[in-house]
Amino acid sequence: MNWPLAAASVVAVFAVAGVARWLGLGGATFADERAAMDEAEGQLPEFHAVSARITDDGAEVTGADGRVVPIRRLGARWVVA
């Protein structure tokens, strides 16, 4: 095994992870409750949002009919679960 090459590969992986963290990649969240409500209304026909709660992994939006719709991150998109 080539130890210098293995060590350089590990350092490169940590460097890429550090750059991604520095750029703020991977930590997307909703700016505010209105943005979560707009996303739910855009993805669900006939859904009228009345309130939203931002969570660690997305949001929970309550509709006028009482339904609570979770919105989660899937890759680069938000999806209604």
Tens-place pLDDT, residues 11-27: 999 999 999 888 877 76
**Residue-level pLDDT at 52:** 96
Q: To the nearest whole number, what is the mean pLDDT of the chain?
A: 90
CA distance 13 to 62: 41
Is the model's pLDDT at 76 over the cut of 80?
no
Is the model's pLDDT at 5 over the cut of 70?
yes
**Residue-level pLDDT at 27:** 67
CA distance 23 to 12: 17
Beta bridge partners of 71: 59, 80
Classify strands 58-63 and 49-55 as parallel, antiparallel or unpaired. antiparallel
Neighbour tally for 10: CB within 10 Å: 10
**Residue-level pLDDT at 68:** 95
- Of residues 59 and 25, which shows the higher confidence score? 59
- Is 0.85 surpassed by the pTM of this model? no
CA pseudo-torsion sign 8, 9, 12, 17: negative
